[in-house]
Amino acid sequence: MTTLAYPPPLDDGVVRVRPWHDGDLRCVEQASQDPTIPLGTTVPARYTEEEGRAYLARQHARLTSGQGISLAIACLDTDEAVGHINLMTRPQRGVAGIGYWVVPAARRQGVAPRAIALLTAWGLGAGGFARVEAWVDPDNHASQRVLELCGYLLEGRLRSFLTFGGRRTDVLVYSRVTADAGR
């Protein structure tokens, strides 16, 4: 049985995964300026402070509504938020979908792999999930690479599964399950 609650702040000595707070608006603003992030998320494509605050409120509302756990990825030394990571509950008991983004200025520094490793380990451990899966656009090679780095297995391809950026797209399905521990 999975009970939704925020994990304690998780860190690996470089990044911290923690709940969003009011000081994180700059991160939402930076994400809104990326051409890709607003297409597949609720990050506003046109940032205003009001839209930014609404985004932060939506992240906390996901926990209370049971939709999932939505957290900021922050630099451990400054606590500056540089990305987002979530575990969204799927209809199947014990299954979560993982999603993530990193602001352009913080990319190519291993931030996403660190955060995914932290939240996956928590999700399949204390978080009580049996399976964490990711749905990835076949053209998104960076996302596929970070999942492989985090020990996710490619299971297959679902055809015409999602609408992304106004077009139908296939998705690649990756997963990590409790039996993978240590792999």
Q: Which residues here bind ligand COA, judged by CB under 6 A? A: 36-37, 100-102, 107-113, 136, 140-143, 145-146, 149
Question: Residue 23 or 165: which CB sits closer to ligand COA?
Answer: 165
Residue 134's H or E segment, with its range, is strand 131-136
Taking CA atoms, 120 is separated from 19, 32, 168, in Å, by 16, 26, 28
| Helix, strand, coil percentages for the chain (3-state, nearest 5) | 35, 35, 35
CB of residue 125 vs ligand COA: minimum separation in angstroms? 23
CB of residue 84 vs ligand COA: minimum separation in angstroms? 9
Taking CA atoms, 140 is separated from 3, 28, 36, 69, 169, in Å, by 32, 21, 10, 23, 12
Question: Residue 89 or 169: which CB sits closer to ligand COA?
Answer: 169
CB of residue 9 vs ligand COA: minimum separation in angstroms? 19
Distance CA 58, CA 67 (A): 11
Closest CA to 121 of 182, 36, 46: 182
Taking CA atoms, 40 is separated from 15, 55, 76, 149, 174, in Å, by 24, 14, 27, 22, 18
Question: Residue 25 or 150: which CB sits closer to ligand COA?
Answer: 150
CB of residue 80 vs ligand COA: minimum separation in angstroms? 14
CB of residue 103 vs ligand COA: minimum separation in angstroms? 8
Question: Residue 93 or 145: which CB sits closer to ligand COA?
Answer: 145
Closest CA to 127 of 79, 176, 75: 176
Question: Residue 1 or 35: which CB sits closer to ligand COA?
Answer: 35
